[in-house]
């Protein structure tokens, strides 16, 4: 519903400009009609345009009301911006349209005679013309603001400034129209071709200069810096409360925040990044970027408490690579973000990651250098951490890494599980307990379905669900970067796993005990699983009623704009794109609450590095099931989430949309602890491009 409303508003604002521009043009022609009949016909045509334009104004008013049903945050700026639209709308009805009806009613006889002079004077008077011109100007302002600079938290003072500028424009138009009216009276409403063309040419020239200047200056202003240091970007007003306390804080470099460096590793892995031709199950081939010659890369499976050492080598990836442990709370120096926690590893280079595997569950790794490009090319794999001492029931443990491959330059994607883009068949004896570790390595959210057996969701993003219950015929909506672990008992009949996303439908996997032609159907009309109500409630370390040390509000949106010199569709955080997005600053031990508000029409899987978030509420309703812990939270269009986390892992951490194309176009920010610095830089003239 919200997406349709968003698109409708987009269309209505465009139509407002078109209709009021056409109406203003028609209105300006009325004084020059030579006969009463011509004037009457022109008034009729203008009236049709006027009614259509006013219908769009009413539609915009209704849309504002509907946006308001999602909360004041979704309509506040639009109300302030739209005030100049509704006020002249009323005046145009009370003045312009009323006067026009009177003129039309007076034209009753001798329709071939000349138009009365008093009517011509009225048709060129400022009080008659200005309301329509005001409607055009306000529509342009509203449309431009919506498409290009839709502001975050436009306050009343700024709104008054906007209205004042609007009033100045109207005053200028009033005096212009007054002079024009006098001139037309002096020339007896005779206008030559040159007199007609001159204002048009001047207007077009001024408009072209204005647009050209705006384009050039905006393009130049959007060029990203050559060098940026994330440790020195505590510039946002959201940090003022913490900056006052950080003056005497001892500085610590991210390079000091390492995993165990001297203890013997329990597991040693070597991953070599290299290009290689690979083949999908359908027979399609592509040049992929691989780890150890395979993609997805090798599964790293360890035990809780183990010290893990991973040696990354770059054979031939020209732009460099890193390893980020998605969802795993490693020390900051091991996080693998180019330009923040390390430099990217160039061809021929090596980098060693070391951390203790404290968290149990399903995670994954991928390059965080040019990640929107490198992940889709194949630089990713799974990380599984099993309990060390806790006895586990005997299960068939299967990791399902879902991805979308770009096989051509036309932007089309081929979804698959690993390299299986055709229906996969696996044999499992009936009675076997099966655990499926579902990892969504795509940018967009996916709906997974298991048909043919009831199942339990036992973990979300590596975090166990308390007392999960059996469910069936439900879609599991998994965020980009998110993971669900599900458990089912294999029946004697076939079971099918399949999924769907913006990239298309993945044929999936059929599990069966013996060969059969029967394959369970996938019902796309099944309801979506609601994690906020699933499982049994359990005491969490904090809740909506806790006292929070930091409260951040993150508004997600999109608009047209310039980024690094190009006009693009940008994805914004609090109205800004990186590097102007807010730097969220905390100190160790803080209890932090963040409110995510999605005012755009795209899904945004918000991923916080180094921490796990507890979901407190969804669209104003507190969560009631098992504590819902996540590191990749899909914030859908029109949705509002409140989440909280404990600031217990010092460093400088990325907090970004894990639709990596969105992150590459500005939807990236950072969480920084007081006193933490980094020697690394990102920017155009560095080798580090984290997004």
Concatenating the DSSP letter of every residue in 459-525 gives EETTEEPSS---B-S-BEEE-TT-EEEEEEE--SS-EEEEEEETTEEEEEEEEESS--S--PPP-TT
Give me the residue label for tokens 């060098």. Answer: 227
Sorting pLDDT into bands at 50, 70 and 90, what band is 191? low
Q: Which stretch of DSSP H or E encloses residue 135? A: helix 126-147
**Could you tell me the two tokens for 383?**
């990380």
Residue 151: the pLDDT is 59
For residues 372 and 398, membership in a common domain is answered with: yes
Sorting pLDDT into bands at 50, 70 and 90, what band is 126? confident
Question: What range defines the domain where residue 350 resides?
Answer: 267-533
**Ramachandran class of 690: left when φ > 0, alpha when ψ lies in -120 to 50, beta otherwise:** alpha
Residue 195: the pLDDT is 56
For residues 343 and 459, membership in a common domain is answered with: yes
For residues 426 and 569, membership in a common domain is answered with: no
- Contact present, 637 and 552 (Cβ < 8 Å): no
**Could you tell me the two tokens for 387?**
């309990």
**222 occurs within a structural domain:** no
Domain boundary among 486, 517, 533: 533
- Whether the pLDDT of residue 530 is over 50: the answer is yes
**687 occurs within a structural domain:** no
Q: What is the CATH number of the domain that holds 470?
A: 2.60.40.420
Residue 236: the pLDDT is 47
Q: Report d(CA 51, CA 74) in Å as an integer.
A: 28
Q: Which stretch of DSSP H or E encloses residue 17? A: helix 2-29
Tens digits of residue pLDDT in 289-311: 999 999 999 999 999 999 999 99
**7 occurs within a structural domain:** yes
Out of 6-20, 189-203, 426-440, 537-551, which region has the weakest mean confidence (pLDDT)? 189-203
Sorting pLDDT into bands at 50, 70 and 90, what band is 240? very low
- Whether the pLDDT of residue 237 is over 50: the answer is no
Q: Half-sphere exposure of 547 toward its Cβ, with a 13 Å CA cutoff? A: 1
For residues 571 and 586, membership in a common domain is answered with: yes
- Contact present, 494 and 511 (Cβ < 8 Å): yes
- Contact present, 582 and 573 (Cβ < 8 Å): yes
Residue 372: the pLDDT is 92
Domain boundary among 476, 501, 533: 533
Sorting pLDDT into bands at 50, 70 and 90, what band is 130? confident
The rounded mean pLDDT for the chain is 89
- More confident site: 464 or 149: 464
**207 occurs within a structural domain:** no
Residue 245: the pLDDT is 45
C-alpha closest to that of 559 among 572, 540, 578, 547: 572
Q: Report d(CA 619, CA 642) in Å as an integer.
A: 8
- Whether the pLDDT of residue 201 is over 90: the answer is no
Q: Report d(CA 418, CA 408) in Å as an integer.
A: 18
For residues 59 and 154, membership in a common domain is answered with: yes
For residues 109 and 186, membership in a common domain is answered with: yes
For residues 489 and 567, membership in a common domain is answered with: no
Q: Report d(CA 682, CA 371) in Å as an integer.
A: 14
- Whether the pLDDT of residue 271 is over 70: the answer is yes
* High-pLDDT (> 90) share of the chain, %: 59
Domain boundary among 516, 533, 550: 533
- Whether the pLDDT of residue 233 is over 90: the answer is no
For residues 516 and 548, membership in a common domain is answered with: no
**216 occurs within a structural domain:** no
Tens digits of residue pLDDT in 651-673: 999 999 999 999 999 999 999 99
**375 occurs within a structural domain:** yes
- Whether the pLDDT of residue 407 is over 90: the answer is no
Residue 246: the pLDDT is 47
For residues 242 and 380, membership in a common domain is answered with: no
Residue 73: the pLDDT is 85
Pairing of the two strands 307-314 and 267-279: parallel
Q: Report d(CA 79, CA 73) in Å as an integer.
A: 11
Give me the residue label for tokens 């399902």. Answer: 400
For residues 514 and 544, membership in a common domain is answered with: no
Query: To the nearest 10°, the Cα dihedral for 72, 78, 84, 90?
Result: -70
For residues 497 and 550, membership in a common domain is answered with: no
Tell me the mean pLDDT in the region 456-461: 98
Q: Report d(CA 337, CA 691) in Å as an integer.
A: 9
Q: Report d(CA 411, CA 409) in Å as an integer.
A: 5
**Tally of domains within the chain:** 3
- More confident site: 184 or 220: 220
Tens digits of residue pLDDT in 578-588: 999 999 999 99
**377 occurs within a structural domain:** yes
pTM to 2 decimals?
0.91
For residues 414 and 490, membership in a common domain is answered with: yes
Distances (CA, A) of 164 to 17, 159, 160: 21, 9, 6
Residue 192: the pLDDT is 62
C-alpha closest to that of 407 among 278, 523, 540: 278
Sorting pLDDT into bands at 50, 70 and 90, what band is 241? very low
Sorting pLDDT into bands at 50, 70 and 90, what band is 149? low
**259 occurs within a structural domain:** no
- Whether the pLDDT of residue 495 is over 70: the answer is yes
């Amino acid at each position: 519903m919200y997406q349709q409303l968003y698109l409708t508003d987009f269309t209505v604002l465009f139509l407002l400009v078109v209709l009021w521009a056409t109406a203003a043009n028609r209105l300006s022609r009325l004084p020059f009609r030579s006969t009463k009949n011509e004037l009457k016909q022109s008034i009729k045509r203008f009236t049709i345009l006027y009614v259509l334009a006013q219908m769009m104004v009413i539609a915009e008013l209704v849309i504002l009301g509907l946006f308001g049903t999602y909360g004041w945050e979704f309509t506040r700026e639009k109300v302030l911006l739209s005030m100049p639209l509704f006020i002249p709308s009323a005046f145009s009805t009370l003045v312009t349209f009323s006067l026009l009806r009177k003129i039309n009613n007076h034209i009753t006889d001798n329709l071939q005679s000349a138009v009365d002079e008093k009517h011509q004077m009225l048709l060129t008077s400022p009080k008659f013309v200005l309301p329509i011109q005001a409607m055009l100007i306000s529509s342009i302002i509203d449309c431009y603001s919506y498409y290009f600079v839709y502001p975050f938290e436009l306050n009343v003072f700024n709104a008054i400034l906007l209205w004042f500028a609007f009033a100045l424009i109207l005053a200028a138009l009033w005096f212009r129209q007054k002079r024009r009216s006098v001139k037309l009276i002096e020339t007896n409403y005779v206008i030559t071709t040159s007199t007609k063309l001159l204002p048009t040419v001047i207007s077009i020239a001024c408009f072209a200069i204005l647009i050209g200047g705006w384009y050039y200056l905006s393009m130049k202003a959007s060029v990203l810096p050559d060098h940026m240091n994330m440790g020195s970007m505590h510039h946002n007003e959201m940090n003022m409360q913490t900056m006052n306390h950080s003056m005497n804080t001892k500085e610590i470099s991210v390079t000091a925040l390492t995993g165990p460096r001297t203890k013997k590793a329990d597991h040693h892995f070597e991953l070599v990044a290299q290009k290689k031709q690979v083949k999908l199950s359908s027979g399609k081939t592509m040049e992929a970027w691989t780890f150890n010659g395979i993609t997805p890369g090798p599964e790293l499976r360890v035990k809780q408490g183990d010290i893990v050492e991973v040696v990354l080598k770059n054979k031939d990836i020209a732009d460099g690579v890193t390893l980020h442990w998605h969802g795993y709370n490693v020390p900051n120096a091991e996080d693998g973000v180019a330009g923040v926690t390390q430099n990217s590893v160039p061809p021929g280079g090596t980098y060693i990651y070391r951390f203790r595997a404290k968290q149990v569950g399903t995670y994954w790794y991928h390059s965080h250098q040019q990640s929107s490009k490198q992940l889709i090319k194949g630089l990713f794999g799974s990380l599984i951490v099993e309990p060390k001492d806790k006895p586990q029931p005997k299960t068939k443990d299967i990791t399902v890494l879902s991805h979308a491959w770009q096989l051509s330059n036309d932007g089309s994607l081929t979804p698959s599980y690993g390299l299986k883009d055709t229906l996969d068949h696996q044999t499992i004896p009936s009675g076997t307990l099966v655990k499926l570790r579902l990892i969504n390595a795509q940018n967009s959210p996916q709906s997974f379905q298991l048909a043919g057996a009831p199942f339990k969701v036992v973990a979300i993003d590596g975090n166990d669900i308390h007392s999960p219950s059996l469910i069936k015929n439900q879609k599991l909506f998994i965020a980009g970067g998110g993971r669900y672990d599900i458990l089912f008992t294999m029946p004697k009949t076939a079971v099918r796993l399949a999924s769907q996303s913006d990239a298309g439908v993945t044929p999936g996997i059929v599990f069966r005990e013996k060969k059969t032609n029967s394959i369970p159907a996938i019902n796309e009309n099944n309801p979506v699983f609601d994690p906020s109500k699933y499982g049994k409630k359990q005491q969490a370390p904090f809740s909506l009623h806790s006292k929070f040390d930091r409260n951040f509000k993150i508004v997600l949106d999109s608009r047209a704009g310039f980024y690094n010199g190009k006009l693009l569709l940008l994805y914004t955080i609090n109205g800004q794109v990186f590097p102007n997005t807010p730097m969220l600053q905390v100190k160790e031990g803080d209890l932090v609450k963040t409110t995510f508000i999605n005012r755009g029409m795209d899904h945004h899987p918000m991923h916080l590095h180094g921490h796990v978030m507890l979901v407190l509420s969804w669209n104003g309703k507190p969560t009631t099931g098992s504590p819902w812990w996540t590191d990749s939270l899909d914030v859908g269009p029109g949705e509002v989430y409140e989440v909280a986390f404990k600031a217990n892992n010092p460093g400088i951490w990325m907090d970004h949309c894990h639709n990596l194309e969105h992150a590459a176009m500005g939807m990236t920010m950072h969480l920084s602890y007081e006193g933490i610095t980094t020697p690394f830089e990102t920017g155009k003239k560095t080798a580090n491009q984290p997004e």
